[in-house]
């Protein structure tokens, strides 16, 4: 609830003035703070005085790898965590392929999330760290590298891994001096670049469960500073120190909080490469889902990464055939390593919308909803560069850094399964937007915890989404919608419960275009619900759109069109709108049916990174290459839960 | 075909741990990993073994964007390989012509796109290219560049010295090796040698 009291600073100033004024004191005595508050008009002249809600979204990245991740290092990444933080906060750096790189605008925060298993091994080896050289094998590898036989050393290392002959003393396991050193270096980088109020450098890591090539990764983010984070070492996957079961990660998180008094949360990786394992509905890791599973998952996994370089996972066209915007940057050919081809029946258990729907059903069955998560986007880049702008895209891995060849390169190719993914299919996506009161670890993390977040596929559009029972049309004419939104409703990530008699949910929604980006096409609300027959339903409502388009016979707003000149990689803002705002009431509401609502804001079409590359390098894309993109944002939902 | 064996070994091994960092315990399942773009991985390791070797990629990309270097052809494969061999033969002939009877320099050239190693062996005023070798010999000067750069040099459209100054070629060896190499080859590829 918004407070409308006198600003404390003003009150304090007046009180101080009274104390140092003998005349004032002699005449009427010093007023109390309470008296002053009563005496001054409410609200204050400044409509912004004493606001107590988030007033701007902070844009950042919750999933970025550097050379400390073993796979990133193997792909040639030379930038470490410090480089990554420097780049994210707006500095120019030299990429691993020698190219100057800089963001169009600084980001507000970054979490470097290197893989917890074998964190830091590659840089340490090539730097000749004492821990490595103390071991005879480590010494041998280092000497090979120094004598120009680096490839021989690399093969030796990798074969040692694959044949389980890797020297135990060189393994970067939790508890070893080397691993501890790498983790401390990661923490130190975050501590060095964390600048409260200006740029937040979170401490974090990625737990990399990947059994059978099925991606169940989670990014773990600390609310805390290094004093607490350094009391533990990351949870890994290797037994006996770690596990590939997320339930074990949750235990680790709980133990961390118990030990340090700190706080951590986890963000599940885009599930589109999990081959049906990210959002189970029956069992997980051989154990039947129960209320405890649902509660623990909802407790620890507050957010979900719905878009990243390896595809966008909000919805799938075969799951949502009536959604003309569902076929967006879809990766549905197989699992993470292409070792198992995708089957249609897997899709339901790896996409955001279907997880939200199944969550409603599970809540009815188990008494708790395991999939009540908020949304973010992030890159999962393995370059140390969170560069996800279409005209400034530095790829997912170092081989995909800008070059005339990347548009025709192959990313995954498994002839045995037929899974083949081209480099051009990698998306320049995305970022996380967090509605926080200030740019600090605590404030941003708290906003993540309450799911007041949204995902973008790259642009920094500003998106509001409030749910309540009493929003009225005139609320959308106010230039301070947030003030009304927080007063009369709940923001994205919130809950509506037990509908008042005769009322339907209302939503105050607003979006502003990215200041240097494209105009907006439309604002949609996606609703999912569990009907009275126990069937899951979904429906998409166009609630605000540009121009004077009228819904067609199918109820859908016609296409906004396109101004994209692919050959020149340009577009104009002659279509679309710079802002959209409205109040929408659910016309199909049934107070007895649990539901979720989230916002989707879609930009007008713009050139995709492939179009920029084709123009920049004068290369011809392969047939079928996607050359335009309709960037978008996805808000965390507002859930409705019936009284009983 | 030592190079082929080597590349296969690198590729098989690297794809085991890339994105499957759990190699030790997942064993055979991890071997089934589908990342078959072995060349990309071999190239990635190069950035460590020859520090910042991949900076030639950035330099080449900049040169193509500025139209100083032709854009690469999309179609690759066998024809690309034999075309590249012809370029390397032509380059060897350039080196022969430029040696002017001076003792030659043996060096190893890596073309970074296909990760193709070629040793240019100098013997008695002759220069023989050994294409598709497994890697440099101990003590070799290592020259790292791209197919399109060497093609331009071989066709006398770009001098070795200019390519080096533009970052299109990187050299790895002792200071004396690098100095000598640059002195000898600065004008190789120049249409009008000074």
pLDDT tens for A419-478 read 999 999 999 999 999 999 999 999 999 999 999 999 999 999 999 999 999 999 999 999
Residue of B24, B114, B177 best to disrupt the A interface, most CBs of A under 10 A: B24
How do residues A78-115 score in pLDDT, each as one tens digit? 999 999 999 999 999 999 999 999 999 999 999 999 99
B71 & B157 share domain: yes
Name every chain B residue with its beta carbon within 8 A of the beta carbon of A234.
none
Mean pLDDT of the A132-154 span: 80
Which pLDDT band holds residue B19 (cuts at 50, 70, 90)? very low
Grouping H, G, I as helix, E, B as strand and the rest as coil, residue A370 is coil
d(Cα B143, Cα B52) in Å, to the nearest integer? 13
d(Cα A379, Cα B75) in Å, to the nearest integer? 30
Residue A425's contacts (CB-CB under 8 Å, 6 or more residues apart) are: A311, A331, A411, A626
Report pLDDT for A615. Answer: 98
Q: How far is B1 from chain A (nearest CA, A)?
A: 16
Instruction: Decide if A98 and B54 are in contact by the 8 Å CB cutoff.
Output: yes
As a whole number of Å, the end-to-end CA separation of chain A is 26
B92 & B118 share domain: yes
pLDDT above 50: residue B22? no
Residue of B19, B68, B174 best to disrupt the A interface, most CBs of A under 10 A: B19
B89 & B11 share domain: no
pLDDT > 90 in chain A, percent: 77
Report pLDDT for A291. Answer: 98
Q: How far is B6 from chain A (nearest CA, A)?
A: 9
Mean pLDDT of the A159-187 span: 81
CA separation, residue A575 to residues A520, A527, A642 (Å): 8, 27, 41
Nearest chain B alpha carbon to A240: B25
pLDDT above 80: residue A201? yes
How do residues A2-24 score in pLDDT, each as one tens digit? 333 333 333 333 333 333 343 34
The answer to whether B16 contacts chain A (CB < 8 Å) is yes
Instruction: Decide if A98 and B20 are in contact by the 8 Å CB cutoff.
Output: no
pLDDT > 70 in chain A, percent: 93
B25 & B75 share domain: no
Nearest to A337 among B33, B61, B65 (CB): B33
- CATH of residue B144's domain is 3.30.1050.10
Mean pLDDT of the B90-108 span: 85
pLDDT above 70: residue A161? no
**B191 part of a folded domain:** no
B60 & B24 share domain: no
Q: What is the 3-state composition of chain B as percent helix, strand, coil, each rounded to the nearest 5? A: 50, 15, 35
- DSSP assignment of A625-644 equals ---EE--EEEEPPEEEE---
Name every chain A residue with its beta carbon within 8 A of the beta carbon of B46.
76, 150-151
d(Cα A538, Cα A551) in Å, to the nearest integer? 19
Which pLDDT band holds residue B75 (cuts at 50, 70, 90)? very low
Q: How far is A171 from chain B (nearest CA, A)?
A: 11
pLDDT above 90: residue A156? no
Report pLDDT for A22. Answer: 39
Report pLDDT for A5. Answer: 34
pLDDT above 60: residue B158? yes
B32 & B78 share domain: no
Mean pLDDT of the A479-489 span: 94
**B161 part of a folded domain:** yes
B108 & B154 share domain: yes
B149 & B166 share domain: yes
Nearest chain A alpha carbon to B51: A78
Which pLDDT band holds residue A162 (cuts at 50, 70, 90)? low
Which pLDDT band holds residue A144 (cuts at 50, 70, 90)? confident
Q: How far is B194 from chain A (nearest CA, A)?
A: 31
The tally of domains found in chain B comes to 2
The answer to whether B171 contacts chain A (CB < 8 Å) is no
pLDDT above 90: residue B167? yes
CB pairs < 8 Å spanning A and B: 212
Q: Is the ipTM of this complex over 0.95?
A: no
**B72 part of a folded domain:** yes
Name every chain A residue with its beta carbon within 8 A of the beta carbon of B25.
238-239
pLDDT above 70: residue B163? yes
Strands (E) across chain B are located at 107-111, 116-123, 126-133, 141-145, 170-172
Q: How far is B69 from chain A (nearest CA, A)?
A: 10
Please, what is the average pLDDT of chain A? 91
How do residues A377-434 score in pLDDT, each as one tens digit? 999 999 999 999 999 999 999 999 999 999 999 888 888 999 999 999 999 999 999 9
A336 vs A455 pLDDT, higher one: A455
Q: How far is B28 from chain A (nearest CA, A)?
A: 9
Nearest to A97 among B13, B16, B55 (CB): B55
Instruction: Decide if B19 and A336 are in contact by the 8 Å CB cutoff.
Output: yes
The answer to whether B73 contacts chain A (CB < 8 Å) is no
Q: How far is B182 from chain A (nearest CA, A)?
A: 20
B110 & B35 share domain: no
Nearest chain B alpha carbon to A416: B34
Q: A-contacting residues of B 146-165, CB under 8 Å? A: none
Phi, psi of A407 (to 5 degrees): -70, -20
Residue of A337, A387, A623 best to disrupt the B interface, most CBs of B under 10 A: A337
Which pLDDT band holds residue B5 (cuts at 50, 70, 90)? very low
Nearest to B49 among A117, A151, A411 (CB): A151
Report pLDDT for A41. Answer: 66
Residue of A128, A145, A146, A150 best to disrupt the B interface, most CBs of B under 10 A: A150
**B155 part of a folded domain:** yes
d(Cα A400, Cα A398) in Å, to the nearest integer? 5
Nearest chain A alpha carbon to B49: A150
Q: How far is B105 from chain A (nearest CA, A)?
A: 18
b/e string for B49-67 if b means 16 or more Cβ within 10 A? bbebbbbbbbbbbbbbbee
**pTM, whole model, 2 decimals?**
0.90
Nearest chain A alpha carbon to B36: A413
CA torsion, ordered A233, A238, A243, A244, to nearest 10 deg: 120
B122 vs B22 pLDDT, higher one: B122
**B132 part of a folded domain:** yes
Name every chain B residue with its beta carbon within 8 A of the beta carbon of A73.
44, 48
Name every chain B residue with its beta carbon within 8 A of the beta carbon of A408.
74
Phi, psi of B83 (to 5 degrees): -60, -40
Q: A-contacting residues of B 98-157, CB under 8 Å? A: 113, 135-136, 138-140, 142
Report pLDDT for B20. Answer: 36
Instruction: Decide if B34 and A70 are in contact by the 8 Å CB cutoff.
Output: no
Q: How far is A310 from chain B (nearest CA, A)?
A: 13
Instruction: Decide if A159 and B27 are in contact by the 8 Å CB cutoff.
Output: no
**B147 part of a folded domain:** yes
Enclosing domain of residue B2: 1-45
Residue of B33, B57, B67 best to disrupt the A interface, most CBs of A under 10 A: B57
Which pLDDT band holds residue A371 (cuts at 50, 70, 90)? very high
**B93 part of a folded domain:** yes
B81 & B111 share domain: yes
Instruction: Decide if A155 and B16 are in contact by the 8 Å CB cutoff.
Output: no
B59 & B111 share domain: yes
**B190 part of a folded domain:** no
Burial class (CB in 10 A: 0-12, 13-18, 19+), B176: exposed
B59 & B108 share domain: yes
Nearest to A337 among B35, B60, B138 (CB): B35
Which pLDDT band holds residue B40 (cuts at 50, 70, 90)? confident
């Amino acid at each position: 609830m918004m407070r409308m009291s006198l600003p404390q600073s003003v009150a304090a100033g007046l009180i101080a003035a009274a104390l140092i004024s003998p005349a004032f004191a002699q005449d009427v005595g010093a007023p109390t703070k309470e008296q002053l508050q009563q005496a001054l008009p409410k609200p204050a002249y400044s409509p912004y005085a004493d606001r107590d809600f988030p007033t701007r979204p902070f844009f950042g990245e919750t999933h970025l790898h550097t050379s400390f991740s073993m796979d990133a290092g193997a792909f040639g990444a030379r930038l470490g965590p410090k480089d990554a933080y420097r780049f994210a906060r707006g500095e120019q750096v030299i990429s691993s392929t020698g190219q100057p790189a800089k963001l169009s605008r600084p980001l507000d925060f970054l979490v470097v999330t290197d893989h917890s298993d074998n964190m830091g091994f590659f840089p340490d080896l090539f730097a000749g760290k004492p821990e490595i050289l103390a071991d005879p094998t480590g010494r041998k590898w280092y000497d090979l590298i120094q004598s120009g036989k680096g490839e021989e050393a690399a093969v030796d290392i990798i074969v040692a891994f694959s044949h389980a002959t890797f020297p135990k003393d060189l393994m970067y396991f939790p508890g070893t001096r080397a691993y501890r050193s790498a983790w401390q270096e990661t923490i130190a980088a975050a501590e060095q670049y964390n600048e409260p109020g200006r740029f937040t450098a979170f401490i974090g890591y990625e737990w990399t469960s990947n059994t059978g090539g099925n991606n169940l990764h989670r990014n773990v983010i600390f609310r805390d500073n290094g004093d607490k984070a350094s009391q533990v070492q990351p949870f890994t996957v290797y037994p006996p120190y770690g596990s590939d079961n997320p339930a074990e990660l949750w235990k680790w998180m709980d133990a961390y909080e118990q030990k340090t008094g700190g706080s951590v949360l986890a963000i599940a990786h885009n599930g589109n490469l999990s081959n049906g394992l990210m959002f189970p509905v029956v069992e997980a890791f051989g154990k039947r889902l129960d209320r405890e599973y649902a509660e623990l998952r909802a407790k620890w996994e507050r957010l979900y990464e719905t878009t990243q370089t390896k595809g966008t996972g909000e919805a799938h066209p075969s799951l949502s055939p009536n959604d003309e915007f569902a076929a967006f940057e879809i990766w549905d050919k197989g699992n993470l390593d292409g070792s198992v081809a995708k089957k249609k029946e897997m899709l339901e258990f790896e996409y955001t919308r279907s997880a939200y729907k199944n969550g409603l059903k599970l809540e009815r069955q188990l008494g708790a909803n395991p999939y009540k998560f908020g949304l973010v986007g992030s890159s999962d880049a393995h370059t140390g560069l969170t560069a996800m702008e279409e005209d400034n895209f530095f790829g997912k891995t170092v081989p995909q850094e800008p070059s005339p060849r990347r548009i025709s390169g192959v990313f995954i190719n498994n002839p045995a399964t037929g899974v083949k993914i081209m480099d051009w299919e990698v998306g320049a996506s995305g970022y996380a937007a967090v509605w926080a009161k200030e740019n600090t670890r605590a404030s941003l993390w708290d906003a993540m915890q309450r799911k007041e977040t949204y995902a973008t596929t790259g642009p920094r559009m500003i998106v509001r989404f409030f749910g309540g029972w009493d929003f009225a049309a005139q609320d959308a004419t106010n230039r301070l919608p947030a003030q009304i939104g927080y007063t009369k409703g709940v923001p994205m990530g919130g809950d509506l419960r037990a509908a008042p008699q005769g009322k339907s949910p209302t939503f105050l929604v607003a979006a502003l275009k990215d200041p240097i980006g494209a105009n907006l096409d439309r604002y949609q609300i996606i609703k999912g619900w569990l009907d009275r027959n126990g069937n899951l339903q979904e429906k998409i409502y166009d609630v605000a759109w540009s121009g004077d388009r009228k819904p067609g016979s199918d109820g859908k707003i016609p296409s906004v069109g396109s101004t994209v000149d692919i050959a020149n990689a340009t577009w104009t803002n002659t279509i679309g709108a710079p802002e959209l705002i409205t109040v929408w009431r659910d016309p199909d509401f049934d107070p007895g049916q649990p539901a979720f609502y989230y916002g989707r804001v879609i930009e007008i079409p713009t050139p995709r990174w492939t179009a920029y590359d084709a123009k920049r390098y004068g290369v011809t894309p392969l047939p079928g290459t996607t050359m335009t993109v309709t960037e978008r944002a996805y808000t965390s939902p507002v859930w409705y839960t019936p009284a009983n | 075909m030592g190079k082929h064996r080597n590349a296969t070994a690198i590729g098989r091994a690297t794809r085991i741990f890339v994105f499957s960092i759990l190699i030790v315990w997942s064993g055979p399942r991890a071997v089934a990993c589908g990342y078959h773009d072995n060349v990309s991985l071999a190239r990635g390791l190069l950035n460590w073994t020859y520090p910042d070797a991949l900076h030639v990629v950035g330099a080449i990309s900049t040169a193509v964007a500025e139209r100083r270097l032709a854009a690469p052809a999309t179609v690759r494969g066998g024809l690309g390989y034999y075309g590249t061999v012809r370029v390397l033969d032509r380059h060897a002939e350039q080196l022969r012509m430029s040696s002017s009877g001076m003792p030659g320099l043996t060096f190893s050239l890596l073309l970074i796109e296909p990760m193709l190693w070629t040793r240019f062996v100098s013997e008695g005023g002759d220069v023989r290219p050994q294409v598709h070798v497994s890697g440099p010999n101990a003590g070799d000067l290592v020259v790292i560049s791209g197919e399109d750069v060497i093609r331009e040099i071989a066709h006398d459209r770009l001098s070795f010295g200019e390519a080096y100054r533009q970052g299109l070629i990187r050299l790895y060896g002792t200071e004396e090796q690098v100095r000598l190499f640059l002195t000898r080859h600065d004008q190789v590829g120049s249409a009008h040698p000074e």
